[in-house]
Structure 1
Amino acid sequence: MTNGTEAEKAGPRSGEATPRRKRLAFAEEELRLISALVVLIAIGLFLALPFVLSIGSVVFLPLVTAIILTIILSPVADRLARFGLPNFLASLAALAIFLAVVSLALTAVLRPALSMFDDVPAMVDRIGEHFNALQGNLAWISRLNDKVAGLVGSAGGQRVVLAEPTMLQQLAFATPTVVLEVLLTLLMAFFMIEARVRMRRRLLLDRQEFGASLKAARVMRDVQDRVAAYILTVGLINLCIGIIVTLGAWALGMDFPVMWGGLAALLNFLPYVGPLVMIGLLTLFGLGTAESPVVGLIPAAAYLGLHATESNVITPAILGARFTMNPVMILLALSYFSWIWGVTGALLSVPILLTVTALMEHLGRPNIIGFLFGEPLFAASTLEPREPE
């Protein structure tokens, strides 16, 4: 009797479990279909977004730049507000400090660069002399090239050369647009910084649940702290790099050492690409001013050693694991936003990547690679059955 009673109890439970499993399986299939549609839409947006942002760069570039400036300068405005300044003056002072720092950096770089611009023809001639001497040592390559050219032959005919606008004409056409974008960026950044207190209050108080308010506060604080701390830390590291390069240029007897230090500090904000440009400039300047190629390569070699030490030892030790990002993602963001907005997009690429990474850590990071092999798109699925209590 006891065995029969247990069988009767087990029967309905196993019968009830089968429809429940079917419902869960159907829900998982439906969730996977929705996730596939979300992935396809995200890929479409990723491919279409550059064309939209580049066409509407007059609107979108100032907006994105103002958002990044707001994230960076809001802690500065908060610190000034703690000293008793009104919110309006604190926001204005934070923006003025930023503009003063940028103006000093550009002045330290551009003014000597314009003075050195007149010496470029002489540097080019000196580099030509070095290459002629090198070509004399490698004359067999030139003879081989002449033989190949003789076998292939040269194409005749006339070439049509189209007249292009001069640099001054291009600068005259581009100046009004640049001035308009800078003014829009500064105005939007100021109003966003000034409205930061009201925006925080709305995010916290306009939520119906306390958990949502707490999550919104955490997301906003983490994004702001992460991006601002990264920019401040990298800025201090680059300032030290600029000081070291300035002292090194002065010790090597280079002209305008402050310009080289400022240029090294500014270019170091561009990961991977900026140091390569700096090495190229130092190589060209060294070969164009030194008596021998070996001596001319000393500044570039010294900077390469400094950059290798900074990027592989100093910066990872200071930033730590919190700011560690995949180099492939950095290069992808750099090329993606450089393609859209040029040099400004390259400067904004790392802050944008940090912001998106911080948001994904709070809102959920998609498991795209695992999704291709049958796993859920997000690690924690809401359809997983709970364990019976």
Structure 2
Amino acid sequence: MIGTDPLLPEPPDTTRVTGEDGTGTRMTFAAQELRLISALVVLLATGLFLALPFVLSIGSVVFLPLVTAIMLTIVLSPVADRLALFGLPNPLASFAALLLFFAVVATALTAVLRPAVSLFETAPAMVERVGEHFRHFQGNLAWVSQLNDRIARIIGEAEGQQVVLAGPSMLEELAFATPSVLLEVLLTFLMAFFMIEARVRLRRRLLLDRQHFGASLKAARVMRDVQDRVAAYILTVSIINLGVGVVVALGAWILGLGAPVMWGGLATLLNFIPYIGPLAMTALLALFGLGTAEVPLMGMIPAAAYLGLHAVEANVVTPAILGARFTMNPVMILLALSYFTWIWGVPGSLLSVPILLALTALFDHLGRPNIVGFLFGEPLFSTEVLPADEGV
């Protein structure tokens, strides 16, 4: 075997890179070109990630119904398939699946909103009662206020005039927002219907219009995994949240809170929003408890009981039922929640976890970018893939 003479020059297609230990490794120009392309991909992806919120926010009338319709298609396609097995035509089965979904949502919103409207009329009295509790508490801490006044006099802080700008009332904001909401709901319904109705043709096109059998097999696995993950997650979480709502409704009835069905419905709906929803539910229970109870400690009992229930549900029940398949990094969940809430508000917060699940399933099959390893000289994409399934 002929060795390489260290005195001879390097071949023209290689470059010597010296590591920290003094050893030299040869990097081909092909590897350098691949790394340069990977760096460009990372820069373009970062720019797209930063610019996408502004595009999606400005075009929310189009993009929000589109993304919502895609999520509804993933969830309701199995329902339409089951209805088609009973002999219903495909368009009728697709429409029935959508109608069933909207009936469930409308029933839940009616059960929550109708008592909430009557409860809203007593909100000023509850706010006044909460103010009395805080004024009583502030009276016990009067020395803090006196200390603040003394510091202000020492500093010589001048009292300035406050200018309060009158804004539109809540009814005016609702009147302005209603046409846009109705338009987005109508677009979502139409897009979801046509997507669900075209699901069979889409599957056939993805599977049969590929030039290679391996590409068809990969497309089938990606479609199946994305649909299974998102649909199973939403169905399982819906059952868990419904159980939480039933327990909250029973607890509200036992504690003597008004409209226990409303509190159960609010707990169910807000539990779909990770982290932020339970915090909002706790704040509402605390506000209602302090606004109706004579003793502040007694008013905090509903909020404390809900916190205990949420701790058991989030740390014991949900991980045991969902398992490792749906376990996601909490940092990624919070990032997706803040990202899509920033873009689309409350609908974005509800869609954040399903979108994250769909993207996770896609990355599992197509390859996850190794961003941190790439910064230290590793390839951007790993060659490892998911193990092949026996069936599709």
Cα offset for 1:124? 1.2
User: Residue 176 of structure 1 aligns with which residue?
Assistant: 179
- Please tell me the residue identity of whatever aligns with 2:14: K
Distance 1:81 1:381, change over 3 A: closer
Q: Is 1:317 paired with 2:320?
A: yes
160-169 or 52-61: bigger deviation: 160-169
Q: Is 1:263 paired with 2:266?
A: yes
Cα offset for 1:14? 9.5
Matched ranges for 1:78-157 at <5 A: 78-156=81-159
Distance 1:76 1:14, change over 3 A: farther
SS in 2 for 1:135: helix
User: Residue 54 of structure 1 aligns with which residue?
Assistant: 57
User: Residue 231 of structure 2 aligns with which residue?
Assistant: 228
Q: Is 1:11 paired with 2:14?
A: no
User: Residue 48 of structure 2 aligns with which residue?
Assistant: 45
The C-alpha deviation readout for 1:181-233, integer Å capped at 9, x for no partner, is: 11000000010000000000000010011110010000001000100000000
Cα offset for 1:78? 1.1
Aligned with 2:291 (options 288, 297, 316)? 288
- Please tell me the residue identity of whatever aligns with 1:176: P
- Please tell me the residue identity of whatever aligns with 2:72: L
User: Residue 21 of structure 2 aligns with which residue?
Assistant: none
Distance 1:250 1:223, change over 3 A: same
Cα offset for 1:143? 1.5
Q: Distance in 1 between matches of 2:100 and 2:374?
A: 47
User: Residue 387 of structure 1 aligns with which residue?
Assistant: none
Q: Distance in 2 between matches of 1:13 and 1:201?
A: 56
The C-alpha deviation readout for 1:122-173, integer Å capped at 9, x for no partner, is: 1112112211221222221122122223334454554444332222222222
Cα offset for 1:85? 1.6
User: Residue 241 of structure 1 aligns with which residue?
Assistant: 244
User: Residue 14 of structure 2 aligns with which residue?
Assistant: 22
Aligned with 2:353 (options 339, 350, 355)? 350
156-165 or 66-75: bigger deviation: 156-165
Aligned with 1:330 (options 333, 337, 360)? 333
Distance 1:359 1:282, change over 3 A: same
| Amino-acid identity (%) | 75
Aligned with 1:207 (options 180, 204, 210)? 210
- Please tell me the residue identity of whatever aligns with 1:116: L
User: Residue 3 of structure 1 aligns with which residue?
Assistant: none
Q: Distance in 2 between matches of 1:288 and 1:159?
A: 29
Q: Is 1:69 paired with 2:72?
A: yes
User: Residue 200 of structure 2 aligns with which residue?
Assistant: 197
Q: Distance in 2 between matches of 1:11 and 1:306?
A: 73
User: Residue 24 of structure 2 aligns with which residue?
Assistant: none
- Please tell me the residue identity of whatever aligns with 1:200: R
SS in 1 for 2:257: coil
- Please tell me the residue identity of whatever aligns with 1:229: A
The C-alpha deviation readout for 1:230-254, integer Å capped at 9, x for no partner, is: 0000000000000000000000000
User: Residue 6 of structure 1 aligns with which residue?
Assistant: none
Cα offset for 1:89? 1.3
Structure with bigger RCO (C-alpha 8 Å, 6+ apart): 1
User: Residue 380 of structure 2 aligns with which residue?
Assistant: 377
SS in 2 for 1:11: coil
Structure 1: runs of 5+ lacking an equivalent: 1-9, 383-389
Q: Distance in 2 between matches of 1:267 and 1:14?
A: 71
Matched ranges for 1:267-282 at <5 A: 267-282=270-285
Aligned with 1:301 (options 272, 283, 304)? 304
Q: Distance in 1 between matches of 2:86 and 2:13?
A: 62
Distance 1:153 1:75, change over 3 A: farther
Q: Distance in 2 between matches of 1:381 and 1:124?
A: 58
- Please tell me the residue identity of whatever aligns with 1:315: T
What is the TM-score of this pair, normalised by structure 2? 0.91
Q: Distance in 2 between matches of 1:322 and 1:346?
A: 22
Superposition RMSD in Å: 2.0
- Please tell me the residue identity of whatever aligns with 1:238: N
What is the TM-score of this pair, normalised by structure 1? 0.91
